[in-house]
Amino acid sequence: MSVEENERIIIPDENGEEHLFELLFKFNIDETDNSYICLVPVEQIDSDEAEVYAFRYEDDDNDDVNDIKLFPIESDEEWDTVEEMINTLVENEDLNK
């Protein structure tokens, strides 16, 4: 699902430094019943080489992006599934422009 408004989330790194990200996509994969979120650093939004970060997430059934728990994607199989979904979402968004 593409997000209409520019939702942002702050994620601290391993040193406790906070980084601001903008939400690109949130989606579910029915086969695994997992939810995923794709983010880009705010300073890279307009860059052609923006780095996209993907995480598995859990929320408390509210729509506040700041109340979610992020988890790393750990297996190659899971990465392949997420990457396929991201490519599909990007292609669909490009077609709608």
Instruction: State pLDDT tens for residues 71-83.
Output: 999 899 999 988 9
* Radius of gyration over every alpha carbon of the chain, rounded to an integer in angstroms: 13
Burial (CB < 10 A; 0-12, 13-18, 19+), residue 37, is buried
User: Would you state the pLDDT for residue 18?
Assistant: 92
87 in the Ramachandran plot: left (φ > 0), alpha (ψ -120 to 50) or beta?
A: alpha
Is 90 exceeded by the pLDDT of residue 89?
Answer: no
- pTM over cut 0.85: no
| φ, ψ dihedrals at 47, nearest 5° | -85, 140
